[in-house]
Amino acid sequence: MTSNPFEPLVPRPAPALLSPAPRIAHGVALAAALAACIAWAVGWLYAMVSQPELEFARSGWLVGPLGLTGLAQEIALAGLTGLLTTRFCCEREAIGGHRRPLWLLAGVFIGGAILPMLVASLLYGLWFLLEAGPLELLTQSHDYSTHFRFVSALIDLLTWLICGPLLIILLLRMSRAVLLRDPLARAVPRWEMALGLGLSVALLVALVFALLGLAVRKLDEPEAALSLWGCALLCGLVAVAATWRLLPLRGRRLRPLRLLGTSLVCVVLWLLASALLGALLVVVTLYDDGLFVPASMLLGILSLVLLILLSRFCLRLIYRPRPG
């Protein structure tokens, strides 16, 4: 059946430029990571120019391996929070696209570079008011310098955990008029689920090891910082490799809160098991000093095996991925 040739032609509206939900999440994560680089560079320049007499500025804490590991941590944390927060909002409100994605990415980039610095400056100022003479003690006391680094790491962590999700949620709320609803556009690729799990495990392990290193004052050496991040990166890669075959090719939803809970339970169980193995290593070393090196190598291998088993166990028990 053919159409009427005398029927008037009705012009069809041009299709809007859409940004699917996966591209929104990936773009926001990339914009947040770039904003973290800008914020770190501005903070580094400010510390080196305005206060070059401080011990942490002279000792190369902001440059070299120590500074680069801090930069890598901020990039990973900002990217992970951007990805998980955007996915959470898209899955909760059935967001399938954005008519003006560049405006959203620009807001995340500019806000992510400015807002954390403002909040961190307020927190540092509040801490300086509560402490007695922090600048003088920074240049004289090694103990206070270690205390300063602990407080600085805590402030940076809280700043990114608070400012990143709040900024993204606020921008998505402000742009509700240009959001497109599509309950079916929720498929998540396997690599995104694996990346979220691996980064979560790596950041949690790095946080625990950093707190332990600050407690024993071993993070002043570049080798210690590189070893810390190398071990955290290895744990993340092991978690990804262990769970890759268990994840579907395309998942129905990412479920960021359940993914974070899976990573947290896995890391806690792994740390407890590693502590028991470490206690066993101490007993063996007290029995015979010559067994320290082979026992340490065996302890490392057993720790990786435990991480593989716990990653698979927690993924099946807690996360329970659903194919799309």
pLDDT per position as a tens digit, 259-298? 999 999 999 999 999 888 888 877 877 777 777 778 778 8
Q: Do 134 and 274 belong together in one domain?
A: no
- In a domain, residue 244? The reply is yes
- Higher per-residue confidence, 15 vs 252: 252
Out of 152, 186, 220, a domain closes at: 186
Domain total of the chain: 2
Out of 186, 216, 248, a domain closes at: 186
Query: Can you tell me which residue has the tokens 């929720």?
Result: 186
State whether residue 180 is helix, strand or coil: strand
Which stretch, 98-107, 178-187, 256-265, has highest mean pLDDT?
256-265
pTM of the model: 0.79
- In a domain, residue 2? The reply is no
Q: Do 101 and 157 belong together in one domain?
A: yes
Could you list the residue range(s) of the whole structural domain that residue 262 is in? 189-324
- In a domain, residue 153? The reply is yes
Out of 186, 201, 218, a domain closes at: 186
Q: Do 156 and 238 belong together in one domain?
A: no
- The rounded distance, in Å, linking the Cα atoms of 35 and 297 is 40
Q: Do 172 and 259 belong together in one domain?
A: no
- The rounded distance, in Å, linking the Cα atoms of 7 and 171 is 45
pLDDT at 136 over 80: no
Q: Do 168 and 27 belong together in one domain?
A: yes
- In a domain, residue 5? The reply is no
Q: Which range, of 107-111, 116-120, 124-128, 314-318, averages the lowest pLDDT?
A: 124-128
